[in-house]
């Protein structure tokens, strides 16, 4: 049949993921197999109406799914699909479907769906019954795509350099050299004497040394060339090239291979790679001599974040890179402060807490930090030293865009600038006298990572925490119950939402309502698995290795976490590009059908693991 | 009530009588001898064929059928596999202005079925069945005209009409009733189908019908006799 006769149905299917991935022919075949039914408010589908039926698509209306125990499973509205997980069931279904509005429902029968799954890879992947497989197939991250792309800083120069050579000799005129540069479309001319490199001339040399000084453009190029040329061997890495460029402040390097001129590299070409851009920034941070310089450099953070998201780098890598940059700023600020105040009177560690401790910094993160000293700070002069140090560092970080922590969880707060023994006491008291308030007011310090100074201090404190926590099971139970106070927004349709912003517009807070919940679960599992790691992925890995969670659980949580961060970063990128305020609040209207479907999967995973954790860590139960 | 239950029997009787008379052309007799579903049948046990014509106008004596489209409701579900659509080769009669409305070109019509074949094919499909239309006079009168039958001649199928059902549902409400298909769909929250062709309109009619049934009967069993009464 001519599908142009069914433009509405055809268009609807074409816009419903994953059928949007079908070929025109497959779409035709699909459109002509649809069965349409109509349901009014309060109607119910269950058991044989669902089991083995096929895939349901909501054309108009709203439905909800309820589990057998009558808890909410999900809500769906126009454009959503459901029923796939019941396709191989017979007689009884896992859930029932209740119609909340009058609903026009399309059914793609089981046999047609199975045919499409077999024929079309995108559809096949999408309809894998496991949520995490669906989530993991939802994106191909740039840094996973191609093993060769990994660690681009370690790529060899010969693979990235330009092989266009503008070769002149010492007698070539300035004018002819300029022409040659234009012809070869390169920035660097090599002045050769046979096989020997006598000197180099860059485009800016011609501008600044010749034109700006009113030289005769027919003078020989040797007059303005740079002798004593720094070169790099083609077998060196991109990172080596950057080192040299940064160290000697040069923008173009001739590349030598087997003793002969081979090509050239420039900073601009190397820095088009987002991760190198970050490496380069960190080096500049390390070399900065003043806070003003640091502040100036801090503006690059946003560009790097943008490039990372745009080039589709894995969310985990983005967080690591952004954390590495934050680390560099913090260390630079501390070093500048020490230079100003003199050497510290006691051994200490400057410690990151919160998201930076987990290496999960993102664009909105404020600063959370503390100081641990080896001995108690007793002398007034010592006290003064650390107070000053902490104040300078936290203020400078604020200037660099890491805003002061509203809860004052910072080293500049005397309470959080104290000795190892005092810190141990803090932990012991939080853990022993567990109350939700005590934990809420200190949970940011449950994650710690040493940024500067004596790493052993932090390690010792982490081990103390792990040990004490595992001796007091009630502590973990309390952590779980605090986390469970927030549930992922399963009941989402149209407005995703449970919260309203200042303008009374509904939104989804992807951090509070989803991402944090996984972080918190991972923290509890990490502590129970006795790992001092703080990274969410590392904690989950440790929990799997300690047999606290199964491999499938690990994959579920990992993929959900990755996907949630992906969505968050993508929306933040959008905000940056449109000059909107950066938030963790997503407007449901901005979400694609694709994102909504996958978010629902992620929420279901979280809800499931919240339940599992509640059971496992229930007071009175052994781990 | 007994009379109502017999509504299809009466039609069947009329059909047989008509088939035995001289008024009935020989080639149509077999259609008229087909058995009709009993008035006490449950709707879910019947195939209901939603039908729509695109025509050059509303007067069967002056106007012509351009295309026919239809889709069946089986076990309460609209099944796309039953859908059909074809153009009718009345190209020599097509009027310029209706071509614009219907988006049908003379070329499409020329490739369509011969009018005589088209109407016979249609009768093959719908005779002895339940046919659903929105505003029955258009379709039934055009069918009679195409078969060269008198206006009062019976047709060998049972007709249900979403327009009449809607009228009876709303006749006690105040304000002017808008009984156009698109207005009813909008009122019932059904998606807007901006395209116009016989198949889309037959689908639109079928969806309205399912919605009306839910309105009137909820999930109770629905008998043909009751729905027939609301259609006439």
Whether B107 contacts chain A with CB within 8 A: no
Cβ-based neighbours of A413, under 8 Å, separated by 6 or more: none
* B112 in contact with A, Cβ within 8 Å: no
| Residues A462-518: tens digit of each pLDDT | 999 999 998 888 888 888 888 888 888 876 544 444 444 445 556 788 888 899 999
Instruction: State whether A245 and A298 are in the same domain.
Output: no
Q: What angle do the packed helices A455-471 and A473-483 form, to 10 degrees?
A: 90
Same domain, A189 and A123: no
What is the tens place of the pLDDT at every residue in A374-423? 999 999 999 999 999 999 999 999 999 999 988 889 999 999 999 999 99
The answer to whether position A72 is within a domain reads: yes
Whichever domain contains A61, its CATH number is 2.60.120.10
The CATH number that applies at residue A605 is 1.20.120
Residue A392 belongs to a domain: yes
Q: Mean pLDDT throughout A347-356?
A: 94
> How far is B121 from chain A, CA to nearest CA, in Å?
17
Q: Name which of A264-273, A369-378, A451-460 the model is least confident about.
A: A264-273
Domain of residue A611: give its range: 479-616
The chain B residue lying nearest A30, using CA atoms, is: B80
Domains of chain B, with CATH numbers?
40-231 (3.30.420.10)
Predicted confidence at residue A70, as pLDDT, reads 83
- Substitution target in A11, A38, A78, A98 with the highest count of B β-carbons within 10 Å is A38
Nearest to A43 among B69, B206, B219 (CB): B219
Which of B80, B190, B199 is the closest to A35 by Cβ? B80
Same domain, A162 and A266: yes
Residue that wins the pLDDT comparison between A323 and B99: A323
Q: How far apart are CA A585 and CA A513, in angstroms?
A: 10
pLDDT number for residue A362: 76
pLDDT higher than threshold 60 for residue A27:
yes
* Residue A605 reports pLDDT greater than 60: yes
Identify the domain boundary among A444, A471, A498: A471
Q: Report residue A34 as tokens.
A: 């649809």
Q: From residue A235, how far is each of A159, A192, A239, A241, A245 by CA, in Å?
A: 9, 22, 12, 11, 16
Yes or no: say if B168 and B86 are a contact pair by the CB < 8 Å rule.
Answer: no
If you average pLDDT over residues A538-544, what whole number do you get? 95
Q: Please, what is the average pLDDT of chain A?
A: 84
Identify the pLDDT of residue A142: 54
In a domain, A421, yes or no: yes
Domain check: are A313 and A369 in the same one?
A: yes
Question: Do A63 and A116 reside in the same domain of the chain?
Answer: yes
Of the three residues A77, A94, A129, the one that is the final residue of a domain is A129
Domain check: are A161 and A122 in the same one? no
Provide the domain count of chain A.
4
- Residue B113 is classified by DSSP as B
- Tell me whether residue A416 is in a domain: yes
Q: Are residues A303 and A445 in the same domain?
A: yes
Chain A interface includes B191 (CB < 8 A) = yes
Please report whether residue A538 resides in a domain. Answer: yes
Task: Report d(CA A334, CA A494) in Å as an integer.
Answer: 48
Most confident of A13-17, A282-286, B27-31: B27-31
CATH of the domain at A382: 3.30.460.10
Question: CB-based contact (8 Å) between B208 and chain A?
Answer: no
Which of A471, A493, A519 is the last residue before a domain boundary? Answer: A471
Give me the pLDDT at residue A30, please. 80
For B122-162, what is each residue's pLDDT tens digit? 999 999 999 999 998 889 999 999 999 988 899 999 999 99
Q: Which tens digit of pLDDT belongs to each residue from A233-291?
A: 988 877 677 767 766 767 788 999 888 889 888 876 676 665 667 777 888 888 889 99
Do residues A368 and A510 both lie within one domain?
no
Task: State whether A592 and A485 are in the same domain.
Answer: yes
Residues A499 and A521 in one domain: yes
Report pLDDT digits (tens) over A193-240: 888 889 999 888 888 888 888 888 899 999 999 888 888 998 887 767
Q: With CB atoms and an 8 Å threshold, state whether A104 touches B191.
A: yes
A63 is a domain residue: yes
Establish if A230 belongs to a structural domain: yes
Judgement on whether residues A113 and A173 belong to the same structural domain of the protein: no
Residue A529 is classified by DSSP as T
Identify the band that residue B1 occupies on the pLDDT scale cut at 50, 70 and 90.
Answer: very low
Summarised one tens digit per residue, pLDDT across range B170-222 is: 877 766 778 889 889 988 888 887 667 889 899 999 999 999 999 888 888 89
pLDDT of A344 above 70: yes
The dihedral of CA B214, B215, B216, B219: what is its sign?
positive
Amino acid A620: pLDDT: 59
CB A330 within 8 A of CB A369: yes
What is the number of H-type helices and E-type strands within chain A? 25, 21
Task: Kindly list the residues of chain A whose beta carbon comes within 8 Å of any beta carbon in chain B.
Answer: 1-2, 5-9, 31-40, 43, 59-61, 101-102, 104, 107
Same domain, A416 and A563: no
Q: What Å distances lie between residue A55 and A43, A186, A506, B17, CA to CA?
A: 18, 58, 30, 49
Residue A275: inside a domain: no
**Interface mutation vs chain B, best among A4, A31, A36, most B CBs within 10 Å:** A36
* pLDDT, average across residues A525-543: 93
């Amino acid at each position: 049949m001519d599908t142009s006769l069914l433009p509405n149905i055809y268009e609807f299917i074409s816009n419903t993921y994953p059928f949007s991935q079908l070929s025109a022919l497959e779409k035709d075949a699909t459109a002509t197999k649809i069965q349409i039914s109509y349901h009014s408010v309060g109607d119910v589908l269950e058991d044989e109406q669902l089991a083995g039926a096929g895939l349901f698509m909501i054309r108009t209306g709203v439905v909800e799914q309820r589990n057998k125990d009558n808890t909410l499973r999900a809500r769906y509205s126009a454009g959503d699909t459901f029923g796939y997980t019941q396709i191989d069931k017979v007689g009884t279904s896992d859930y029932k479907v209740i119609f909340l509005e009058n609903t026009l429902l399309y059914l793609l029968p089981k046999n047609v769906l199975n045919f499409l799954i077999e024929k079309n890879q995108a559809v096949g992947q999408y309809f894998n019954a496991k949520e995490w497989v669906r989530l993991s197939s939802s994106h191909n991250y740039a840094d996973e795509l191609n093993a060769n792309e990994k660690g681009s800083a370690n790529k060899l120069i010969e693979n990235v350099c330009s092989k266009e050579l503008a070769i002149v000799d010492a007698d070539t005129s300035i004018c002819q050299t300029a022409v040659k540069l234009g012809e070869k479309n390169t920035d660097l001319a090599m002045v050769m004497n046979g096989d020997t490199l006598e000197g180099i001339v860059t485009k800016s040399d011609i501008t600044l040394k010749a034109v700006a000084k009113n030289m005769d453009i027919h003078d020989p190029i040797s007059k303005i060339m740079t002798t004593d040329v720094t070169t790099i061997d083609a077998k060196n890495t991109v990172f080596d090239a950057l080192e040299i460029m940064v160290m000697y402040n040069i923008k173009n390097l001739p590349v030598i291979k087997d003793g002969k001129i081979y090509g050239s590299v420039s900073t601009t070409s190397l820095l088009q790679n987002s991760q190198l851009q970050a490496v380069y920034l960190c080096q500049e941070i390390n070399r900065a001599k003043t806070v003003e310089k640091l502040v100036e450099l801090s503006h690059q953070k946003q560009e790097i974040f943008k490039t990372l998201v745009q080039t589709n780098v894995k969310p985990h890598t983005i967080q690591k890179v952004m954390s590495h940059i934050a680390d560099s700023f913090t260390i630079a600020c501390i070093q500048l402060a020490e230079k100003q105040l003199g050497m510290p009177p006691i051994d200490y560690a400057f410690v990151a807490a919160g998201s930076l401790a987990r290496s999960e910094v993102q664009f909105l993160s404020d600063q959370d930090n503390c100081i641990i000293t080896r001995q108690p700070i007793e002398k007034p002069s010592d006290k003064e030293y650390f107070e000053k140090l902490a104040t300078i560092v936290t203020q400078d970080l604020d200037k660099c865009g890491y805003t002061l922590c509203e809860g004052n969880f910072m080293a500049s707060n005397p309470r959080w600038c104290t000795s190892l023994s005092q810190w141990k006491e803090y932990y012991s008291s939080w853990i022993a006298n567990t109350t939700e308030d005590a934990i809420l007011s200190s949970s940011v310090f449950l994650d710690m990572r040493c940024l500067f100074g004596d790493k052993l201090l932090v390690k010792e404190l982490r081990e103390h925490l792990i040990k004490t926590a595992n001796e007091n099971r009630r502590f973990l139970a309390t952590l779980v119950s605090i986390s469970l106070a927030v549930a992922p927004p399963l009941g989402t349709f149209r407005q995703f939402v449970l919260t309203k912003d200042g303008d009374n517009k509904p939104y989804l807070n992807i951090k509070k309502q989803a991402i944090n919940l996984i972080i918190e679960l991972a923290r509890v599992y990490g502590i129970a698995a006795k790992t001092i790691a703080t990274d969410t992925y590392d904690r989950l890995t440790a929990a799997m290795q300690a047999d606290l969670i199964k491999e499938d659980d690990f994959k579920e949580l990992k993929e959900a976490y990755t996907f949630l961060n992906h969505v968050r970063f993508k929306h933040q990128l959008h905000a940056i590009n449109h000059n909107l305020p950066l938030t963790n609040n997503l407007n449901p209207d901005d979400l694609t059908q694709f994102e909504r479907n996958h978010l629902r999967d992620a929420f279901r995973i979280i809800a499931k693991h919240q339940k599992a954790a509640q059971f496992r860590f229930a007071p009175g139960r052994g781990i | 009530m007994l009379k109502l239950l017999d509504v299809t029997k009466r039609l069947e009787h009329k059909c047989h009588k008509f088939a035995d008379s001289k008024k009935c052309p020989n080639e149509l007799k077999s259609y008229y001898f087909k058995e009709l579903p009993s008035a006490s049948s449950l709707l879910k046990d019947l195939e209901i064929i939603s039908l729509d014509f695109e025509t050059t106008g509303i007067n069967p004596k002056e106007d012509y059928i351009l295309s026919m489209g239809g889709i069946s409701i089986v076990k309460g579900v609209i099944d796309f596999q039953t859908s059909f659509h074809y153009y009718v080769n009345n190209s020599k009669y097509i009027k310029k202005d209706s071509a614009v409305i219907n988006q049908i070109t003379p070329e499409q019509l020329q490739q369509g079925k011969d009018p005589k074949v088209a109407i016979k094919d249609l009768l093959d499909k719908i005779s002895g069945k339940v046919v659903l239309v929105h505003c029955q006079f258009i379709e039934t009168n055009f069918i009679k005209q195409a078969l060269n039958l008198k206006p009062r001649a019976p047709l060998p199928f049972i007709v249900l009409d979403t327009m009449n059902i809607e009228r009876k549902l709303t006749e006690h409400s105040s304000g002017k009733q808008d009984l156009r298909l698109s207005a009813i769909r909008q009122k019932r929250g059904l998606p807007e189908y901006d395209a116009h062709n016989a198949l889309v309109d037959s689908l639109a009619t079928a969806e309205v019908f399912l919605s009306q049934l839910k309105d009137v009967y909820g999930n109770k069993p629905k008998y043909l006799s009751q729905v027939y009464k609301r259609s006439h």
